């Protein structure tokens, strides 16, 4: 499975402009998963970009010529964020800042600069540097939003390389609050002994 040409070109062009800001941002969602070898049931159809609150204004300005709306505080369903949308050459893009997922008593907060960026996977797309959301984040995120098609495929890769993924998973669980039902699912999916202390 591959990107459409429109999506690939939009990703390369947007990454070039975002990199010029020298702000930290990460590519997540289906595009980020595909670039890390996760098997998807459907091809990527949009571009999901994540950053912290302090960076999103500058990043938004970098993409302004493709903007279709202004940055707004968005609270819908499980999610809370500062959200803006873009369209380029038929490809849809989202810039998400201060992202939180809240399910029951579980609260998961995306912290790009202090946590996730240090564990990001570095890739190049036609010579343009792109950093990807770590799989540990993607696993928790897709577990909380009940996407077994995603979290099972992600866990399959993570389980083969615990020395790569377990340290960040441990850090994310120590920084966030996940209910026991999700901790048990993570333990089953990954079989990481380090997770037992959170149950």
Classified as helix, coil or strand, 147 is coil
Cα(186)–Cα(162) distance, integer angstroms: 13
**Which CATH class name applies to 5-198?**
alpha beta
Please give the share of the chain, as a percent, with pLDDT higher than 90: 89
Please tell me whether residue 176 adopts helix, strand or coil conformation: coil
pLDDT at 1: 57
Extents of the domains making up the chain? 5-198
Closest CA to 150 of 45, 40, 35: 40
Can you give the C-alpha Rg of the chain in angstroms?
16
For the stretch 122-175, pLDDT in tens is 999 999 999 999 999 999 999 999 999 999 999 999 999 999 999 999 999 999
């Amino acid at each position: 499975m591959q990107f459409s040409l429109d999506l690939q070109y939009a990703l390369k062009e947007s990454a070039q402009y975002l990199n010029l800001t020298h702000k930290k941002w990460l590519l997540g969602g289906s595009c980020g998963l595909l670039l890390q070898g996760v098997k998807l049931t459907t091809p990527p159809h949009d571009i999901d970009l994540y950053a912290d609150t302090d960076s999103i204004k500058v990043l938004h300005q970098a993409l302004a010529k493709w903007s279709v709306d202004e940055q707004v505080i968005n609270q819908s369903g499980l999610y809370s964020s500062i959200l803006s949308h873009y369209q380029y050459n038929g490809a849809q893009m989202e810039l998400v800042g201060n992202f939180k997922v809240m399910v029951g008593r579980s609260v998961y907060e995306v912290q790009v600069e202090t946590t996730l960026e240090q564990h990001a996977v570095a890739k190049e797309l036609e010579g343009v540097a792109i950093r990807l959301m770590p799989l540990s984040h993607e696993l928790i995120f897709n577990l909380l939003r009940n996407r077994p098609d995603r979290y099972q495929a992600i866990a399959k890769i993570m389980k083969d390389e615990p020395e790569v993924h377990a340290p960040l998973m441990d850090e994310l669980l120590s920084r966030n609050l996940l209910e026991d039902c999700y901790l048990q699912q993570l333990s089953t999916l990954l079989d990481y002994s380090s997770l037992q202390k959170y149950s």
